[in-house]
Structure formats: C-alpha cells, structure tokens
Amino acid sequence: MNTVAVAAEILILAAFTVYIIRHGEIKRPVKRADIDMCIEKLIAFKHAPLKTYIPDGVLLQRLTEDSYDVETLNLLCRDILSHCGMHDHNVCVDVVPQEDRHVAGLYSYRPDISIIRIIRKPYEMYQETLATLVHESMHHLLISNRIIFENRFINEALTDTATVFMGFDEVMQAGYAMQGYLTTKDLRYVRKRLKDLQDRV
C-alpha cells in the first residue's frame, strides 16, 4: 500500500475516533433481553463461564514480532479452541489483503475444514489481531456446536458474548477497539451478568 493510502487510512481512523469521543459509539446497542438470551444459550452449552485464558507465552511473543505470521495464528487458534475444550479443531487460519477497512476478520464454515481469514491492515497492533482471532474462533466453536441464531446481528452479539463467557475478556479489552458488535456498555452488562452468575455458584 502506498504512503498516500496509508495516510488517508490514518486520517479516516482519526476522524472516526473524534466522532466517537464527541458522540459516543457508532455501534448499535443490543437489547438486554437479546444479551440475556445469548448468555442462556452459552450456559446451556458450558453451564458456567470459563476461567481466564492466558495465551501461550512463546506464541504471544511471536505475535508481537509479526501480527500476521500464519503459523503463529494457526497455533494460537488451536490454543484458543483447546481452552474452550475443543480439541478437534478442523480449522485453518489465513491472512488476506485488506479489501474493506471495516472488516477485521472473516469466518467460513466448511464440513471438511473451516477457514478463518485475518485481514492484513497497515496499522494494526498485535492485540487487535489476537482479539479478531478470538472472535472468529468463537464463530467456529459456536457453529461447530450448532449454537446459532438465525438473526445475523444477534448471532454476532452471541459471538462477542461468548468471548467473555469463554474467558477471553482480558484479550478482548486489550484489542477490541472498534472491532466487534457489542458496545462498551453492552460488554459491561455481559461482565456484570456473568459475575453475578459466578457469585451465585
């Protein structure tokens, strides 16, 4: 990507950030009843939130050195899914060029092997790449276990809720930024609901 294109991307990002600071998030809030429905689906699947995920130190170091190293991303994806109790991964991670600046990652389900595509961006930090990988890995976990909603927006809210439920809250807080579908208020609500559940156990 040439220097002018990179500068234009940075200006757009800066304008976007200023808008959010002045007017609040652009994301559409999710109804509390829909978030509760997502949490109930996850409880039916795992009964209780999982402990906090701690990335493998060697893999994390490799990711800090190259946010788009395909081998590292595939190993991290296996680590993420193993943390969730999914050892038959059947998923491959690839890195593809940026076509839409609003998309950080894509998930495609296939019966033989599913594909996670991480979008290469000129200014992305490793924390954002890891948060994207977690979100897309949750798509794989949920779809593989037939935990889905027909409504696409609610299904994406379910995926974001799963990132917190499955123990990736710290990873998501470090790299969530403008990615994902839940607003910061939605995420606070999810955390409170899950904390209340854990306190009752």
Q: What is the pLDDT of residues 168-192, one digit of tens each?
A: 999 988 876 556 788 888 989 999 9
What mean pLDDT is predicted for residues 39-45? 95
pLDDT of residue 123: 72
Angle, CA 184 vertex, CA 179 and CA 188 arms, to 5°: 130
Q: Are 9 and 101 spatial neighbours (Cβ–Cβ below 8 Å)?
A: yes
Is 50 exceeded by the pLDDT of residue 20?
no
Q: Tokens in use for 84?
A: 């969730």
The H or E element containing residue 194 is: helix 184-200
Per-residue pLDDT averaged across 72-93, rounded? Answer: 94
Alpha carbon distance, N-terminus to C-terminus of the chain? 52
What's the whole-model pTM score? 0.83
